[in-house]
């Protein structure tokens, strides 16, 4: 997305949790604790993926996008469809997106990444060449 910025990736933490589960240090039940709300969000607002659940391997993972920010007012903390995010990003100046993966079979869930969207990011990306975001030399 054009205004995406301040991306924080949680794949290292996710890998550490999965390693602990495989080692038996953490029980699968402890990490497969998606709340009914999260599972509902996955059903109604989730983005299907081709990736198998790393715990049960019965179902593909679903990504749920939660939005947070003062400008969202009452809808802060709600799950949104991925297709709704570009619209919000053109309407609001700045809001946070938290991406959570959920397995609808076993209730495995983990934060994947978070980032900021919104019109405030346009000034910078308009002066940049699109898709020039390889590497990180000198850029934020």
> Contact positions toward Zn ion, by CB under 5 A?
53, 55-56, 103, 105-106, 108
- Name which of 102 and 116 has its Cβ closer to Zn ion: 102
Distance between CA 1 and CA 7 in Å, rounded?
12
C-beta of 53: minimal distance to Zn ion in Å?
A: 3
C-beta of 48: minimal distance to Zn ion in Å?
A: 14
C-beta of 105: minimal distance to Zn ion in Å?
A: 4
- Name which of 53 and 100 has its Cβ closer to Zn ion: 53
- Which letter, b or e, does each residue of 94-116 get, where b requires 16 or more Cβ atoms within 10 Å of its Cβ? bbbbbbbbbbbebbbbbebbbbb
- Name which of 95 and 108 has its Cβ closer to Zn ion: 108
- Name which of 10 and 115 has its Cβ closer to Zn ion: 10
Distance between CA 19 and CA 36 in Å, rounded?
26
Residue 46 burial by CB count (10 A; 0-12/13-18/19+): exposed, middle or buried? buried
C-beta of 49: minimal distance to Zn ion in Å?
A: 12
């Amino acid at each position: 997305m054009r205004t995406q910025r301040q991306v924080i990736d949680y794949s290292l933490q996710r890998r550490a949790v999965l390693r602990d589960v495989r080692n038996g240090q953490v029980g699968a039940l402890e990490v497969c604790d998606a709340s009914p709300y999260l599972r509902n969000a996955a059903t109604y607002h989730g983005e299907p993926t081709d990736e198998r659940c790393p715990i049960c391997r019965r179902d593909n993972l679903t990504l749920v996008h939660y939005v947070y920010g003062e400008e969202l007012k009452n809808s802060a903390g709600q799950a949104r469809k991925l297709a709704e995010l570009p619209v919000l990003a053109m309407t609001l100046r700045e809001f946070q997106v938290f991406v959570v993966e959920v397995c609808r079979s076993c209730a495995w869930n983990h934060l994947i990444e978070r980032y900021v969207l919104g019109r405030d990011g346009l000034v910078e990306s308009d002066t940049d060449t699109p898709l020039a975001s390889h590497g990180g030399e000198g850029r934020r």
